[in-house]
Each structure stands twice: as structure tokens, then as C-alpha cells.
Amino acid sequence: MQNVVPKRLQTKLWSSNINNLDLEKDKTIIIHRVLGYGDMSDIKVLFKIYDLKKLQHIFLAEPMNVYTKSGLNFTKNLVLDMENTPIEEKAYVKSLY
């Protein structure tokens, strides 16, 4: 696996310079930000970097609250194929004030 974050993902990782990110060390933020804010083209890029098992593991083991409720359902059930996997929704859904 090449350890360079594709430039097209910079807009999803706005709080970081992608030149300073490491695909392995920073995988949690990369995975959640792309799943939470990316379009289908971005998600396809994510699947070229990480396999489904890695994406599922990070999604479950290291939740981030970057999803809308509908985005969470789409990501969990359709993108990650985990429809029957229970999760603590409040660990994923961002609060809107």
C-alpha cells in the first residue's frame, strides 16, 4: 500500500494537510471523514486504499461523530454492509446546534 493520501481527499480532510497525513497512522480520521463527507467517487478511492474488513473494523472500534443520522445509516448499512451490526448511534452522529 502506497502511504500517500490522494490529493482528491484534501477537501474531506480540511483540518489537516494531506502531505502530513500517514495512511496507517491517521487511518481513523481519513476513513471517517471520507465516509462522512465524501461522495461515491471518494468512497471508491477509500476502498482502493483500505479493504472492507479494515474499514469495518475502524468504523466499529474507533467511532467519530461526523455523520448525519441518514448518512450514518447509508454508510453502515450500504457502504460497509453492516446492516445487522448494532452500534451506539450517538458516538457517530454529530450534534447540530
In 3D space, the residue among 61, 67, 68 whose CA is nearest the CA of residue 32 turns out to be 67
Label residue 76 by pLDDT band (50, 70, 90).
Answer: very high
If you average pLDDT over residues 35-55, what whole number do you get? 96
Cβ neighbours for 38, distance < 8 A, ≥ 6 positions apart:
9, 12, 46
> pLDDT averaged over the chain?
91
| Mean pLDDT calculated for residue range 54-69 | 96
- Using CA atoms, how far residue 31 sits from 10, 67, 97, in Å, is 13, 12, 25
Where exactly are the structural domains of the chain? 7-91
pTM, two decimals, is 0.90
* DSSP secondary structure code for residue 32 in this structure: H
The whole-number average pLDDT for the span 77-96 is 93
